[in-house]
Amino acid sequence: MKNITFYIRNITKAIFLFVDLLRYKLSGKSPNEKYPLLLNSFYVFGGIMNNMGTKLLKKRKTNFIASKGLLGNLSSNELENASQFLKENGFVVLENVLSEDLCEKMLNLSLKIPGSNRVMDLGQNAPYSGLYNRVSPSSNRFEYDGTTLVNQPEIQEILADESLMAFAQEYLGGSPILDLVSMWWHAPFKQEADQNAAQWFHFDMERVKWIKFFFYITDVDTNSGPHTFIPKTHRTRGIPATLRRKGYVRLSDEEVSEHFSQDSWQEFTGKRGTLIVEDTRGLHKGKHCLTGDRLLFQLEYTVSDYGAAIAIPVLHLDNASNKMLDAIKKYPLTYSMIKIE
């Protein structure tokens, strides 16, 4: 009886979500207040409503040139294999995507632009905004905001890259919209994994469908905070219901290992310039850092801006490189979640 009421209640919520997705498709307006229904439907149905929402909201594909840019060294066969691997496993690793020179420039940039501390669980550190102190970090995670980043020419090199858009589109099945630009340090401020710093396992769920590009800007070994993913958990019901139904929370290694043995966790060590493309609907974390540190740059592309409210980055035209300006002119939908002024 309890079970029947549970399903009736949640199927009703799924219907409300469907109506809201339809309303959004017709009006193009996302007031976001129905977003908790998307979360709820994921806990209960494990991605079925995300798949439906994707079909409904995805935009017609754009003609990108897949060989133009950072992934241009890969043959079309290699790109296809990488894409297939990503669909099957939820991640794919591509090495030497960023040049040494660009990584060095981004590393230097990270020490010149302001950012802020992620406040730790239990408030173990004080909030801080300013330049990063690599010698004496004051948080497990120090991060830069979207507006600061999109105005930097080094970052625009990556934002305007057509081969990344083509790769994202192949995965998403519709034209990609750039919806997150971020960069952060992992540092051994405290030796334990911090939940607030995304160092415990979790799934992301801000959109119906999205794909993340994680670029390592420093060399990453097992102690310096490698990104970690559990293969195939991005699939529909890939995360067991017992874990999903805990809600939008962080999960300890112990509870995750009851369902997925530690041997199956993919810990990505790699040289700077390495790119991990990942569907973070699957279980993942940034393993906490014990020694050294890690600088990571992240892009997210989505099929639709339906979902959680986020801060929209502002790009000042005076700061835009020619390549960036061309890309904005050519692909306005891709940059529709950046305010350009």
Residue nearest to Fe ion (CB): 204
Q: What are phi and psi of 6, to 5 degrees?
A: -55, -50
What one-character-per-residue DSSP string does 101-163 give? HHHHHHHHHHTTS-EEEPPPGGG-S---EES--SSS-SSSEEEE-HHHHHT-HHHHHHHT-HH
Question: Applying CB under 6 A, does 282 fall inside the site for ligand AKG?
Answer: no
Total residues contacting Fe ion by CB under 5 A comes to: 2
When binding is defined by CB under 6 A, the residue of 66, 102, 159, 198 that contacts ligand AKG is: 198
Question: Applying CB under 6 A, does 204 fall inside the site for ligand AKG?
Answer: yes
Stretch near Fe ion under the rule CB under 5 A, chosen from 33-41, 73-81, 190-198, 326-334: 190-198
CA distances from 189 to 6, 134, 221, 226, 289 (A): 43, 11, 17, 16, 8
Amino acid identity for residue 86 in this structure:
L
Site for ligand AKG in 87-116 (CB under 6 A): none
What does 227 interact with, of ligand AKG, Fe ion, none (CB < 5 to 8 A by kind)? ligand AKG
When binding is defined by CB under 6 A, the residue of 90, 115, 286, 307 that contacts ligand AKG is: 286
Residue number, 24 or 215, with CB nearest to ligand AKG:
215
Site for Fe ion in 203-232 (CB under 5 A): 204
Q: Contact, 213 vs 277, CB < 8 A?
A: yes
What does 239 interact with, of ligand AKG, Fe ion, none (CB < 5 to 8 A by kind)? none
Residue number, 109 or 198, with CB nearest to ligand AKG:
198
CA distances from 231 to 41, 168, 199, 265, 311 (A): 22, 19, 17, 7, 30
Residue nearest to ligand AKG (CB): 286
Residue number, 198 or 327, with CB nearest to Fe ion:
198
When binding is defined by CB under 6 A, the residue of 34, 105, 227, 244 that contacts ligand AKG is: 227
Question: Applying CB under 6 A, does 284 fall inside the site for ligand AKG?
Answer: yes
Smallest distance from ligand AKG to CB 338, Å: 20
What does 286 interact with, of Fe ion, ligand AKG, none (CB < 5 to 8 A by kind)? ligand AKG
Q: Is 223 exposed, middle or buried (0-12, 13-18, 19+ CB in 10 A)?
A: middle
Q: Tell me which residues touch ligand AKG (CB under 6 A).
A: 198, 204, 227, 284, 286, 296
Q: Tell me which residues touch Fe ion (CB under 5 A).
A: 198, 204
